[in-house]
Every structure is written in structure tokens, then in C-alpha cells.
A and B are shown apart, each in its own frame.
Chain A
């Protein structure tokens, strides 16, 4: 980050839907780390944000070092916080390590210890030793620190994975990129990805911050973008830029929730729905063609919920009414009144007059959407089963997904309710871990759904808890026409769903 006055300005923040809830104002957030069931992130100026569920955030206690753009990582039983500071005119700076065995101020283990400088810039060299980013390499357990900001290079040094302190302090850092900041390295499937923030920060809605990336087969580089341009030559494939009313994303942080669910954190220089404040966000991380892709948290809407496994969609188990009305099938089974309907002999003539014939449609232009109020009069009252079926644009196949306020959430999103659009019938878990629709939403945990995008872009839909099971269970296509609840298995497509606008 660039130098700014470290003045915390607390703004009254509106709470629009689908941004994190609570106190989320922060600049240069660290990687989000979990400690004793809570989520923590640390920002410039000592800002600490804490969350029980990753959705609703509150301010936490500032660590003893209140520098710039910290990063945090768990090493064994220690939480190591790396905090940068200017120690003179830029680019003279250093990065200090402090550690604690807990991040929870209520824990007896909450006690920060100083562990010294791990990297520095002397004000002359082509580097500004701020904006630390950590990687514990999953392939070999080695610990790496990247750092730097605009003055010259993003650099890489190795740390001791036991202590978090510098290894080989006399060795020359490796240059990885130029003209960027807030770098971090991510390992995935044989590649190292260097994500760094380009553009200008700290200018509110005028900030040009955007996150770019390159990849390399070795942690030491060279990191090339998708065009083959090296990040040492200014290259970088765009990962996330400004969009909609969220301006200037920066400071990527990887959040692995396990079970194949990956997310990333960042801040926006200006969230226009929150008065232009700099705020935290958590979004899905997808992978496509060997590159990370920024996903979006689910927005409210009406969807067809299609199984990635079977291609069939979730529907209320009621007899459907063909959209536009039933029409006869040529040569259909005798007496098949349910398949037939209005239409005389002319209607059975292929290519007949407008409005007739089996391939002629109604001849009356667009068929209006099915009126759920009309077709639902024949639906049973009370609880109704669900099933999977071919999508036919019928009312019992359209689900309105809406956020539930004050019910908590999970990293990036609130809980949702899932109802047949235009009705109060909501999808719920039964006591024996099956599915049912209830006639109305009552707010019970079995009616709250955690809907998360997976790394391939599909979604998983997870209930808060089945009444008997005591564990989250995911919507699962156990058969082409049957759905149930099951423990989420990231290696199966049974619990992967596509949410499509009908």
C-alpha cells in the first residue's frame, strides 16, 4: 500500500444485502485465519475484525503492532502476524513478526511476543519492504514471504516454518514482480500463482486498484501471465477489477474452507453502497483453465436448481401442468386424457394452420409464464415431497432464493430460504435427513440454507443442521428423479448444483 495517514474513520455504514454484515470497514486486510472457531483478519492501522461465522463481523482488539497491511499465518501452535512499518522516508521500511498462541482476547494464550525483523528495505534499493504475504508450501512445508510495494520489486525470502523467522538472512531476496503491491503466493495443482494488486490505492472511488496474477512452476518464478508476459516486466492477468458499485479491489487473501470450498478475501477501496468506505469482502474462488477466477456470492432471485449429476431439476412433487395448456400427441395412447387436452383433428396435423398441428404451437404468440397462483390450487396442502424431473418451465420447478435477515451466515453470505416462487412453500430438512417442503417459513434451522459456489462454478446447498443429524447436510441427487440430504463429498457430483435463471 502507499503511505496514508493512519487515522481510523468510523463511518455509519448502511447494510445493503449481500455485502458482509456488521462492522467490516478495513483497509489492506490480511489473509483471514481461523482460531478456536472464529475468523480473524488484521488491517492497516491496527484494525482487527472478528467473526463467529464469517458473515457478521465486529471490531476486535488491536495487536500491539499497528503497522501497514499485515498478514497472518498459523504455524504449529503459533499465530504469526507480520506487520510492516516505515522507518524513514519511503522506501525505507521493515517487516516485523509478532506471534501469539491465540487470537482470542479471552484466551489465556492470548499474548503477543515480538520476534524481530524478517525483511527490510534500506530506502535506496529497488524495493519497499511492506505488504507481507505468506505461503506455507503444501508440497514441501517450506515457508515463504513475499513483500514489496511499487518502489521496484516484489521480493521473495524464505522463513523458518517452525518460528516464522527469517532463514538465511544474508541471502539475496528473489525478485518476482514489479510495479505492484499486496502480493501473495497461492499453490494449486502444480502451479504457484502470484497475485498482486496493481493500480492506485487510497483514493476512494477514484482508486484504480485491481488484482492481477501470473503463475510459475517454481515458487521462485518466473511468473508469467496468460499472454506469456512476465510479472517482472509488468505483466499480470486480471483476477478482479472494479465492478458494479465496488471500486478498487485489492489485497487478495486465500481462504480454504475445506471440502473443496475455496474463497478469497479482499477489500474494496470504495463500496459505494456504504458511503464509499473501504470494506472487507469474501467471495468464492473458482478455478478455470488453470487460473483462479473470482466468483460472486449468490444474489437473490428465482432459479431452477439443476443437478450437475443428473441434469434434472428440483421440483415440488406435484403433477405438473404443461405451460400453455395440454395439447394432444399425435398417435398418443388411446384414452390418454392426461396427455391430451383441447384440440380437434386439425390440431393433429403436422404443419397445420397457424395455431394448429403438433408442431405449430398455439399460434397466439408468446406463451405467458405459468401462473403459480392458478396451478397451485391443485397442489396438496401441508408438507409435500420434492423430487427431480426434467425442466419444463413449470411453476413447481422455480425456486425463489432469498436471504434471511438476522439468522447469521457463513463466509461471504447470509443464510437463505428456498421457496417455490410465488408461494410460501419452503424447502426443509426432515428429522430423518430427507427433504420436504413446508407450507410456510418459520425460521427453523432446518429451513436455512448455506449456498456456496464451488471451485468449478457449481453450487452446494447445505442445511444448517438436520434435527437428528447434528451436522450440516447437502442437497444430494441420489437418483435422476430423487433427491436427499447427505454429507457433502467434494469428489462427487451428487451434491453439485447449477442455479439457472428460469
Chain B
């Protein structure tokens, strides 16, 4: 979402006398400079420690491959988002299953895919980017996960929330588009009924953020609209 920089300041700071504000600003800038040198790891994310990961108790997929953010000043309207995500940024962007550490070059900038597990129901892209000294505002994130099903699952739905706009694909088919400046709400966008095939299924998303916090969450719902269980996610289609 976009946050007005001025209004995001606490009221007490906005009303602070000018000399005090100068002092405060200097202190903050000094601290910020120190922070920018070495940033702590993303508090909500960790490197995968196993080959596969079951969904959370609420069905959320917690393992993803995420590409470092691509700078993007696009508006968040329907047509602008569609146009943005259809643009080619790197080879085979709608079909590639990257490996952890793979690099692509976008606009002359080398970007790396990272495998992450989220400790929460959502994947905090702000944490992801900030920890890597990457921009968090006016950016486009690509994320991929591989969902392994021991058997075919019919009439399931992908259910996602995103901050901000996002487009989602399952096995190459676009299934959800959420547009506009928005916050992540569980099961905000829900796909039509679809079939997860036995074996590997590729879930891919593009999330566009304007400013401020950015994250997403995703799970599957079964035919009774309950969180789907009984599958695993991994960062490799070759797990099985």
C-alpha cells in the first residue's frame, strides 16, 4: 500500500519544534546509515531446512522462491497491472522453476532468487527486501512454489491475499487477479474451482507494491471451502 510520508509521522513529531526536529532527524539518519550497512535477517523468514514443507494448520503455503524486487512505478489499476505483469523481465518468467541462488538480469540489475520459509501465515515481502538492502516501494516481486499432491485433487481453489495488487497462476493458467491499492486479507481473491494434478503443481505470483508494507498469503481450499491439507510445498519440482 502507499503511505503518505507526512501523515505517517506520529502527531507528536509533526508538532515538534523545528530545532528538536532537526536533532531528531540527525539522530534517525545516523541510525539509518548504520542500519543500511548491515541489516539483520528478515525476522519472519528463514532458509528452508528440509526438502518439503507441509502447509500450516490453516493451510497456508509457507515455502517460496522469491526473486529480489524489480523496480516498477506502475499504477495499480486493472489494466496497468495486467500490462506490467505481461511484460517480459527475464526469460521464461511464466514457466521457469528457478533454483535457490539463480540470478536473472532485469534492466541491467542482477537479481537473485531466494528460497524462504515464512514463520507466519503470510510472506512478508517487506522483510524479504529490506533484509537484502533492496527497495520495498514501487516494486514488482515474483514468487514461485511447487505444490506436490500425492493424488489428484479436484474442485479446489487457490485463495490468496496480497499487498498490493497481484496476479496468480497455477500450472501456467492465470487464476486470480487482484488490483488496486490493497492490504493483505486472508482469502481475498479466490480462484474458480481447479484441479491439482498428482505430483508437482506450479504456483506462481507477481505482487506489485506502491509503497509501505508488502506481503502475500496463499492457501488452497477444498471443495467444502476448508483449508486444503495433505500436500507439501518445495522449491524444486524434482522432490519426488
Contacts and interface: CB of A to CB of B under 8 A. Distances in A.
| Most chain A beta-carbon neighbours within 10 Å: one of B138, B161, B187 | B187
Interface stretch (A76-84, A276-284, A329-337, A405-413): A329-337
B102 interface: no
Contacts of A336: 73-76, 210
Chain A residues touching B, majority SS: loop
Contacts of B157: 478
Nearest to A333: B210
B198 interface: no
Interface string B119-148: 000000000000000000110000000000
B78 A478 contact: no
A434 B75 contact: no
Contacts of A479: 159, 187-190
A73 interface: no
Contacts of A486: 225
A11 interface: no
A339 B77 contact: yes
Given A479-B187, A481-B189, A486-B225, A338 B6 contact: no
A427 to B, nearest CB: 16
Interface in A362-413: 389
Interface residues of A, number: 25
Contacts of B221: 478
Contacts of A440: none
B189 A482 contact: yes
Interface in A460-502: 478-482, 484, 486, 494
Interface string A285-322: 00000000000000000000000000000000011000
B186 to A, nearest CB: 9
Contact of B79 (A333, A338, A339, A480): A338
Contact of A335 (B6, B73, B78, B179): B73
Given A319-B77, A332-B2, A339-B77, A432 B192 contact: yes
B178 interface: yes
Interface string B48-75: 0000000000000000000000000111
Contacts of A333: 2, 73, 75, 137-138, 210-211
B22 interface: no
A339 B79 CA distance: 12
Given A330-B4, A434-B193, A480 B185 contact: yes
Given A479-B187, A480-B187, A338 B80 contact: yes
Interface of B: 2, 4-6, 73-80, 137-138, 157, 159, 161, 176, 178-181, 185, 187-193, 210-211, 221, 225
